[in-house]
Amino acid sequence: MATVCTPEQELRNALDAFETALATPVVAGELAAWSVAALEDWNELSAQVHYHVGHMHPRQYQQISHEDPEMLACVEKLKAEDTKIEQDREAFNRMIVRVVAHAPKFERDEEKIRVHTQHMIDAGLAFVSRVRKQEIVIQTWFMEAFNRDRGVAD
């Protein structure tokens, strides 16, 4: 029986898989295979992030704004961070595609591409961290919008 995942769980699964792919050491002679596997996990994460930023987050922002209009400044900051995440997603996509394209050429002398590979790994892990943080912040403000104490009401 297949387990149905929520969109949030699907994003977490994609983040976990991609983070694991990047953290997996590159075994000598396996750079091309490693980079292709990382690209596959990246493609899933990229699609998940794009979906969340484009569809899930706007709905959450609308609910936050509707429930607590005083949080509009927070919502604007969240939207700005989403824009930066999308820019980072597109930039990282170009980077990983470039590494995957060149990896087979350097399989015999992986040291020549190691700096680029390490830069890609570092950028990918930073991206994962940024997305995780954004999701936590959104959930925090979402819960705050519904649960915030607004003072004494008569």
Task: Say if residue 83 is exposed, middle or buried (CB neighbours under 10 Å; 0-12, 13-18, 19+).
Answer: exposed
Instruction: Give the span between the Cα atoms of 52 and 49, in whole angstroms.
Output: 5
Residue 27 is predicted with a pLDDT of 85
Residue 120 is predicted with a pLDDT of 96
Q: How does pLDDT run across 105-137, given as a tens digit for each residue?
A: 877 777 778 888 999 999 999 999 999 999 999
What radius of gyration, in Å, describes the C-alpha atoms of the chain? Answer: 19
More confident residue, 1 or 97: 97
Give the predicted TM-score (pTM) of the model: 0.90
Greatest mean pLDDT among 4-13, 21-30, 79-88: 79-88
Q: How does pLDDT run across 29-75, given as a tens digit for each residue?
A: 888 999 999 999 999 999 999 999 999 999 999 999 999 999 999 99
Q: Please check whether residue 138 is in contact with residue 57, taking contact to mean a CB–CB distance below 8 angstroms.
A: yes
pLDDT for 141 beyond 70 = yes
**What letter represents residue 44's amino acid?**
E
